[in-house]
Amino acid sequence: MQIKKTIPGVIFTGTGKGKYFMSQQGYKKQFEKALGFIPFEGTLNIKVSIEDAENLLKNKESITIKGFKSLENDFGGLKCYKIKIKNIKAAIIIPDRTHYHKETLELISKENIRERLGLKDGDIISIGCD
């Protein structure tokens, strides 16, 4: 089977928890060091086929972001994969603890991708590896 470099997905609104997690200094510092940017406080959620997601990330190097503790909470670790969406540098994040299913990809970038590209729920978009 040939590894796909780009896969389609459907934009959808998540629970809004990405904003909270992306605002945490423990994550921001690690993302800046590992990815070269501090992410916009939120994630872009994309529904894809599990097979496409696995194929896109197959043999792709992951970046580990470690969990940490704050005064109020314990935050889990996650894996990142550098990608591009319409020539915007971004990363897929796969948290160790999540309520989403495997067909959901959460994307982060230094900018609000949804606003920058004028995306709305139900839009189909392609994402690809660097």
Task: Report if residue 60 sits inside a domain.
Answer: yes
Contacts of 74 (CB under 8 A, 6+ apart): 67, 68
Task: Report if residue 39 sits inside a domain.
Answer: yes
Task: Report if residue 73 sits inside a domain.
Answer: yes
User: In which domain, by residue range, is 40 found?
Assistant: 6-129
Task: Report if residue 42 sits inside a domain.
Answer: yes
Which residue has better confidence, 19 or 64?
A: 64
Which pLDDT tens digit goes with each residue over 68-89?
998 888 999 999 999 988 889 9
The count of domains in the chain is 1
Which pLDDT tens digit goes with each residue over 100-119?
778 899 999 999 999 999 99
Which pLDDT tens digit goes with each residue over 12-30?
998 888 888 899 999 999 9
Which pLDDT value is given to residue 129? 75
Task: Report if residue 87 sits inside a domain.
Answer: yes
- Domain harbouring 33, CATH code: 2.40.30.30
User: Using an 8 Å Cβ cutoff, are 7 and 55 in contact?
Assistant: yes
Task: Report if residue 66 sits inside a domain.
Answer: yes
Token digits of residue 113: 């991708």
Residues in the chain: 130
Task: Report if residue 1 sits inside a domain.
Answer: no
